[in-house]
Homo-oligomer: A and B are copies of this chain.
Amino acid sequence: MSSTNQFQSIEHILKNSLNDEDYAKVRQVLYGNATPEIEIPTLIQDTAESYDIELKAYSIPALAEQTRPVRAVRIGLFQHQTPLPTNSKISEMHNAMQKLAVKAIHLASNLGVNVFCFQEAWNMPFAFCTREKFPWCEYAEEAEHGPTTKFLQQLAKENNIVIISPILERDGTHSDTIWNTAVVIDNHGNYLGKHRKNHIPRVGDFNESTYYFEGNTGHPVFQTDYGKIAINICYGRHHPLNWLGFGLNGAEIVFNPSATVGDLSEPLWGIEARNAAIANGYFTCAINRVGTEIFENEFTSGNGKPAHKDFGHFYGSSYVTAPNGSRTPGLSRTRNGLLVTEVDLNMCRQAKDTWGFQMTQRLDMYAKLLSEASDHHFVPQIIKK
């Protein structure tokens, strides 16, 4: 299906088809506690429309505590289409991407966003389906000193926003290797560090292991003025252990910048990031690309179908989940969009105190099990007559 015949969202269908009473029941079972809309000033909403960016804002309140003040943080998730044809010159593509980024961060800034995250490999087409090395490898940049980081450092400082920038990284210091990396820039414009995608897919059109290898940066958590944040890039969302790693290191918000398409993936989209928030007592932010990208040369997908030039529709649907399992509605499946969510980071510890998952998790038992199971002589515990 191309972008043009895609439906907007299931939330849109439910809201328009169910009566209020039924909608409340369905929403509670499917999405948990209500996430009230934050009123957006008309001027900002009009500006968003003039940019053709869907703008939504929700709040997820926590309990008031006696010994800690509210730790309110506004998170901004930006999902977007590639603004130019995929065969545009790299310089032109970068210019167009940067213009879009300025608009998105302008909106975010006006809505008081503190931490902003782009989608995976945000400043390029998601071209890994082609398995062509050129020109796509030329999109790779140094994490700390590349042009995209420099560009965003300025924006971060001007707007007092932490920015997470997932890019294709070139590591010139280490044999010119390429990585799928998220760069973290703090709200003072400083380069804070980077994280490399830990798990790389070998699935259909996601032939990403052609380009880069499993990350070697562990599970870093970045301490910012607005909480402890981490990034689980795309396919890493399928790995509960990856989510756990960020939890063990104390993350309060984990971003999942992604690029995913199709009927195989979409029913999983609402499950995995949400499960991670529940299991680990942190907020998760799932961000997906939108639109359909068409490439110059045809390619096949390892599924017996004829060669073609696109690999389907990125279905957007970015959303935020709280540690108690409540989630916001998703952004649309079809449009560029900015999702602003005000959270109270105090909910992380509150959820842990309520459910006790960390107290009851028996890490030592699993350390032993995983150690045994990672030996290829491992004999599974099987009981039979």
Enumerate chain A interface residues (CB-CB to B < 8 A): 7, 10, 13-14, 17-19, 22, 25-26, 28-33, 184, 186, 188, 190, 192-193, 198-203, 214, 218-223, 228, 235, 238-241, 243-245, 248-250, 263-264, 266-268, 270-272, 274-275, 278-279, 324-326, 354-357, 359-367, 369-371, 373-374, 378, 380-385
Q: Are B266's CB and A28's CB within 8 A?
A: yes
Q: How far is the CB of A328 from chain B (nearest CB, A)?
A: 13
Q: How far is the CB of A354 from chain B (nearest CB, A)?
A: 7
- Given the interface pairs A380-B250, A381-B221, the reply to whether A268 lies near B263 with Cβ below 8 Å is no
CA–CA, A14 and B18, complex, Å: 8
* Inter-chain contacts of A357 with B (CB < 8 A): 238-239
Q: Which residue of chain B has its CB nearest to the CB of A219? A: B381
CA–CA, A7 and B26, complex, Å: 10
CA–CA, A228 and B381, complex, Å: 11
Q: Are A29's CB and B219's CB within 8 A?
A: no
* Inter-chain contacts of A200 with B (CB < 8 A): 360
10 nearest A-B pairs in the assembled complex, by CB-CB distance: A240-B240, A32-B267, A275-B275, A223-B384, A367-B370, A363-B374, A249-B380, A367-B371, A364-B374, A193-B383
Cross-chain contact of A355 among B188, B203, B245 (Cβ < 8 A):
B203
Interface centre among A198, A199, A370, A378 (most CB of B within 10 A): A370
CA–CA, A116 and B149, complex, Å: 57
CA–CA, A378 and B19, complex, Å: 52
* Inter-chain contacts of A188 with B (CB < 8 A): 385
- Given the interface pairs A264-B324, A267-B32, the reply to whether A385 lies near B192 with Cβ below 8 Å is yes
CA–CA, A245 and B275, complex, Å: 17
CA–CA, A222 and B381, complex, Å: 9
Q: How far is the CB of A166 from chain B (nearest CB, A)?
A: 16
Q: Can you report 29 A-B residue pairs in the complex whose CB atoms are below 8 A from each other?
A: A10-B26, A13-B25, A29-B266, A31-B267, A186-B385, A192-B384, A199-B361, A200-B360, A202-B359, A202-B360, A223-B382, A228-B382, A238-B355, A238-B357, A239-B357, A241-B362, A241-B363, A248-B369, A248-B370, A249-B380, A249-B382, A267-B326, A268-B325, A271-B325, A272-B278, A272-B279, A363-B370, A370-B370, A371-B371
* Inter-chain contacts of A238 with B (CB < 8 A): 278-279, 355, 357
CA–CA, A279 and B201, complex, Å: 14
* Inter-chain contacts of A384 with B (CB < 8 A): 192, 222-223
* Inter-chain contacts of A360 with B (CB < 8 A): 199-202, 214, 235, 239
Q: How far is the CB of A227 from chain B (nearest CB, A)?
A: 12
- Given the interface pairs A202-B356, A374-B364, the reply to whether A28 lies near B383 with Cβ below 8 Å is no
CA–CA, A224 and B205, complex, Å: 38
Q: Are A361's CB and B278's CB within 8 A?
A: no
Q: Which residue of chain B has its CB nearest to the CB of A184? A: B383
Q: Are A218's CB and B371's CB within 8 A?
A: no
- Given the interface pairs A221-B383, A383-B222, the reply to whether A271 lies near B275 with Cβ below 8 Å is yes
Cross-chain contact of A366 among B228, B270, B324, B370 (Cβ < 8 A):
B370
Q: Are A278's CB and B270's CB within 8 A?
A: no
Q: Which residue of chain B has its CB nearest to the CB of A243? A: B240
